[in-house]
Amino acid sequence: MIPTPFDYIAAKSLDEAVALLGKHGEAAKILAGGHSLVPAMKLRLAQPQVLIDISRIKDLAYIREEGNSLRVGAMTTHYALESSKRVRVVSPLLAECAAAIGDVQVRNRGTIGGSVVHADPAADWPAAMIALRVEMVCAGAKGERVIKADDFFVDLLTTAIAPGEVLREIRIPLSQGRTGQSYKKVRHPASGFAVVGVAVNLGLDAAGKCANASIGVTGAAAKAFRAGGAEAALTGKPPDAAVAAAAAAKAADRQDMNSDLYASAEYRRHLVEVTARRAVLAAVGAAK
């Protein structure tokens, strides 16, 4: 419960943070809300020698609409997203996912940027990031680059962010027309993390058929994944209970499910199916 020694630097600007990261290299870690990194440090599982705190940098915590997208600063807390009335209207999945994270204390400190960059396989955000097809804007020494959510989550605790880069912003394309979104999860009774979590973002056409579907799954495997088979099973069909069930079965049709003390791979596969079905039906309900 006591970390190894480290230096602490409060960066004043994003440029300074990037420069510090370049200077200290692998010895350094970015500190955002500290709700993934600090617990790991207390157990000495993470032993960074330098912490670069980006929480004091102005204008990294914001939610604003620009054209057809929502821009969310990396330091935006879960609570800010959960409680924003505008977010609930334009991107309800963001608010619903935020509200499903941890507890009030965690949501008040923890940030969306810190969570996605940590890429915990049981974190809630990755499912929503995939379902919303977000773009991650990363700042580095050579300027900014944009990483699509599908390319962002690479493996267990591993993202496509390069050494020396800092996540600055998450851009969420806003859906048009009849859309419905939902996030459903099975909470781990101890950690509160997702045993499985399924985020659904779908659109209906004028006839009430599913015009498009985007589904992210977290908690189930080493990294969050897109349930492409389920999306295909929904698209072009009237999303009734039978179609939802068929799509959910596709979401669960994988061989790489996690297994732990709480849930075997077999049970997890089943939970993905149940949760996906519930999330699809809830999203359809929201779209009507």
Give contact residues for other proteins (rule: CB under 8 A): 1-2, 4-5, 43-44, 186, 188-191, 261-264, 266-267, 270-271, 274
d(CA 269, CA 195): 11
In angstroms, what is the minimal distance from the CB of 55 to other proteins?
23
Instruction: Specify the residue, 1 or 207, whose C-beta has the smaller distance to other proteins.
Output: 1
User: Residue 220's CB: how many other CB atoms inside 10 A?
Assistant: 31
Name the nearest CA neighbour of 177 among 149, 206, 200, 220: 206
Using the CB atoms, write b or e for 61-90: b if 16+ within 10 Å: bebeeeeebbbbbbbbbbbbbbebeebbeb
Number of other residues whose CB lies within 10 A of the CB of residue 34: 16
Type of residue numbered 124 = D
Q: In angstroms, give the least distance from the CB of 241 to other proteins.
A: 13
Choice between 42 and 64, CB closer to other proteins = 42
Closest CB 268 distance from other proteins, rounded Å: 9
Contact 66, 170 (CB under 8 A): no
Q: How far is the CB of 89 from other proteins (least distance, A)?
A: 27
Closer by beta carbon to other proteins, 41 or else 132:
41
For other proteins, the closer of residues 192 and 229 by Cβ is 192
Q: How far apart are CA 5 and CA 49, in angstroms?
A: 7
- Closer to other proteins by Cβ: residue 31 or 57: 31
Nearer to other proteins, 4 or 158 (CB): 4
Least spacing, CB of residue 105 vs other proteins, in Å: 13
Nearer to other proteins, 168 or 269 (CB): 269
Residue with tokens 């994988």: 254
Q: Both ends of the chain: CA-CA distance in Å?
A: 50
> Is the Cβ of residue 19 or residue 265 nearer to other proteins in the bound state?
265
* HSE, side-chain direction, 13 A CA sphere, residue 158: 4
By CB neighbour count within 10 A (0-12 exposed, 13-18 middle, 19+ buried), where does 209 fall? middle
CB of 259 to other proteins, least distance (A): 11
We find the least distance from the C-beta atom of residue 213 to other proteins, in angstroms, to be: 21
Residues 6 or more apart from 261 whose CB is under 8 A from it? none
Quote the crossing angle between the two packed helices 241-251 and 265-287, to the nearest 10°: 140
Nearest distance, CB of residue 2 and other proteins, angstroms:
4
